[in-house]
Structure 1
Amino acid sequence: MPKDGPQPVERDLPTDESRDLLGLVRDLVQREIKPVAAEQEAAGVFPRETFRLLSEAGLLGLPYPEEYGGGSQPYQVYLQVLEELAAARLTVGLGTSVHSLSCHGLAHFGSKEQRTEWLPDMLGGGLLGAYCLSEPSSGSDAAALRTRAVRDGDDWVLNGTKAWITHGGVADFYTVLARTGGEGAGGITAFLVPADAQGLNAAAPEHKMGLNGSPTAQLHLDEVRVPDTRRLGDEGQGFAVALSSLDSGRLGIAACAVGVAQAALDEALAYTAGREQFGRPLADFQGLRFMLADMATRIEAGRALYLAAARRRDAGQPFSRQAAMAKLFCTDAAMAVTTDAVQLLGGYGYTTDFPAERYMREAKVLQIVEGTNQIQRMVIARHVAGPERKS
């Protein structure tokens, strides 16, 4: 390992502008995010000021058009920014990804008038979003959701409960999927619901094993009235909105996973280079060197996979299969790498004095959110082997 420690990741960036952007992100990370990450996570502090700073810097709307306040950056650039943020603090990286996911429905399915009215504040006006698909009884089976929206003149009235909502209770707006028709995927519609809507309330945040700074809560909708102008896309098009959002969101999760894994590897490299046993650094023992080599290889492979999928997205090519593969591989890799990092630090890896245990706890949730890895395998299998045959 170089004497001055782990080196910054060499990025594959297409333009001088994107390289300057990443330099800005790295500077912000070192000044504002990384120094307080461990303390704030331990205390369960939600970094609202950090998200305001990211918004002011134009980092919350990177993949969206400039005409609406976005950064007009390719997805391959946006994802590498996410990786840098997640490596510093997953609460910030994942929160940025979720915010981008919550803007997707409006940006891609909203009307010109809707985008002009709401998107600029969502992308660069200091607002923070949340995405509401899952429910207590419908997680992986998203098409079975029960939250209902009933037409009442020019309004819709929403009733139901959403679950596992990142930013639940702290978001400024929610993209909500609700049933407006019959059973199944065809009866679902998307709505953009402001956080101050009457009848919208968040439950107490869940008690989680990691991501303590990121609130995850149920969201209760009790006679929540929204005008039809807040419907995103056509009536009954909501499931298509959801799937389109999730394909992009899964790449965000993949990038975050690689960021956490990279942070864990950097910690393991620094520790094994500085810790001596039997008269030489731990990093000189072949068995441990092989572990470090495997960790680095998983990270490089995951990064290459999510970037390949992002380039397909940027080129307007289908990328659903590649997004599922990237989410599956990168999050499994993050779990393996962070587990090995704890092992390499020995007893210290099991203490909160070092961040390795936090990385390991945080990596676990990435195998679950935005479609469990078992669901990703089902998606991939349908692409490569065709749909399941019903008996």
Structure 2
Amino acid sequence: MIPRAIFLPEHEAFRDTVRRFVAEHVTPHHGQWEKDGQVPRSLWHKAGELGLLLCNVPEEYGGIGGDFLYSAILVEEMARAGATGPTFYLHSDIVAPYLVDFGTEEQKRKWLPKMATGEVVVALGMSEPSGGSDVQAIRTQAIRDGDDYVVNGQKVFITNGHSADLLLLACKTDPTARGRGVSLLLVETDRPGFARGRKLEKIGCKAQDTSELFFSDMRVPVANLLGEEGGGFKILMTQLAQERLVQAVRAVAAAEAALEWTRDYVADRKMFGQTLADFQNTRFVLAGLHAEVTAQRVFVDRCLELHLRGELDPVTAASCKLVTTDLQFKVMDHCLQFFGGWGYMWEYPIARAFADARMTRIGGGTAEVMKQIIANDILPRPKRAG
């Protein structure tokens, strides 16, 4: 393996803490959480107690004040263990930055410390039944009525939707506009008019609670507006590079783990008087995958360096997510094949990793959206017919 030069000793000490946490509190129970369709709140409390939540949020708001590498370490170690249930990255690295960067002082002091301890779990309400990637076209409306917004609409595919105490909700405060009509509201999920639908049954990431949400004349104070009215789309765009980098970090770490599981399996599995590892096909396929994953590891680490300096641009982030998540699925497909029939059994980590990997080419923006972002940067925009 190529040495990774981006981590300092304090980062590696944090990694040791994360690995112990995963080994003791996550791996032994993850199978049951997959059956339950969610992780228990006690896990969030334990993560908060160990300082694993809101790692790069300032200490004055309850975080540990670290850089993004602490978050990346947590994402990597969860991915290596096949632990897709605890969605700490969504809580800490997608929603929390919006509050840090755009929340009022009152909003930050009210919510961030509770998020850091795991007392409050958050979700991001963007995707709707009519579409997920085109945020400007959302239909959920929040119409001003005195000191409140009255919210009507629905969301779907909402991770943490069933367990969230707080929802960062994207809605239209001006239904006649596209991007300029989008606003963000901080919504407590115990408000009248808010309802959770069913926990959605997915082909993978089964321990994540993913839900549909409904809003019927739900009143939300204007004080819960994040940023300016009509400024929600611009706010959402500020964190997309980090969100896509998180997916890339997960993808490469999961691919590395799958290669390790497969290497160990083929070295022991006997067939036709020799091990699977003795066959040239096995050796060449795994060698090729190893080389590709190593190359993407270097790319991800370079993107992490750029992100730490505030220089990771949207096109590079989209490129990184595109190639790493495509490779993740390729690795899972080839590795599962080496396990034969056992690879199709849910009890084997490779089977769950194969199913889980399908999501990463959708979440955080589909592969097709990533290609569109890249194409718009390197090619003239297509002319519209007529």
When the two structures are superposed, what TM-score results if normalisation uses the length of structure 1?
Answer: 0.92
Question: Residue 88 of structure 2 aligns with which residue?
Answer: 96
Secondary structure of the 2:239 match is helix
2:190 corresponds, among 196, 199, 204, to 196
Letter in 1 for 2:133: S
Secondary structure of the 2:277 match is helix
Alignment of 1:1-391 (within 5 A): 11-42=4-35, 44-92=37-85, 95-100=87-92, 101-181=94-174, 182-391=176-385
Contact 1:76 1:311 in 2 (8 A): no
Question: What percentage of aligned pairs have identical amino acids?
Answer: 34
Cα distance per residue 1:297-331 (max 9 Å; x no partner): 23223332222222222112242112111211111
Letter in 2 for 1:98: L
Letter in 2 for 1:330: T
Cα distance per residue 1:224-282 (max 9 Å; x no partner): 11212211111111001222232211111112222322222121111011112233322
Secondary structure of the 1:287 match is helix
- Structure 1 portions without partners, runs of 5+: 1-6
Q: Distance in 1 between matches of 2:41 and 2:106?
A: 29
Secondary structure of the 2:215 match is strand
Cα distance 1:12–1:128, how it changes in 2: closer, same or farther (>3 A)? farther
Cα distance 1:156–1:263, how it changes in 2: closer, same or farther (>3 A)? same
CA RMSD of aligned residues (A): 2.0
Cα distance 1:21–1:365, how it changes in 2: closer, same or farther (>3 A)? same
Cα distance per residue 1:75-102 (max 9 Å; x no partner): 2342232011122134245x11211212
Contact 1:160 1:221 in 2 (8 A): yes
Offset at 1:45? 4.6
Contact 1:47 1:213 in 2 (8 A): no
Contact 1:199 1:222 in 2 (8 A): yes
Letter in 1 for 2:91: H
Contact 1:90 1:362 in 2 (8 A): no
Contact 1:76 1:307 in 2 (8 A): no
Secondary structure of the 1:189 match is strand
- Aligned residue-pair number: 383
Q: Distance in 1 between matches of 2:295 and 2:184?
A: 35
Contact 1:264 1:341 in 2 (8 A): yes
Secondary structure of the 1:126 match is coil
Cα distance per residue 1:205-226 (max 9 Å; x no partner): 1111111111211110111112
Q: Distance in 2 between matches of 1:119 and 1:38?
A: 30
Secondary structure of the 1:204 match is strand
Q: Distance in 2 between matches of 1:347 and 1:318?
A: 42
Q: Distance in 1 between matches of 2:36 and 2:267?
A: 30
Contact 2:140 2:171 in 1 (8 A): yes
Offset at 1:137? 0.7
Offset at 1:103? 1.8
Q: Distance in 1 between matches of 2:304 and 2:223?
A: 32
Secondary structure of the 1:300 match is helix
Q: Distance in 2 between matches of 1:131 and 1:256?
A: 19
Letter in 2 for 1:74: D
Offset at 1:340? 0.9
Q: Distance in 1 between matches of 2:334 and 2:274?
A: 21
When the two structures are superposed, what TM-score results if normalisation uses the length of structure 2?
Answer: 0.93
Farther-moved stretch of structure 1 (9-18 vs 63-72): 9-18
Secondary structure of the 1:191 match is strand
- Structure 2 portions without partners, runs of 5+: none
Contact 2:153 2:214 in 1 (8 A): yes
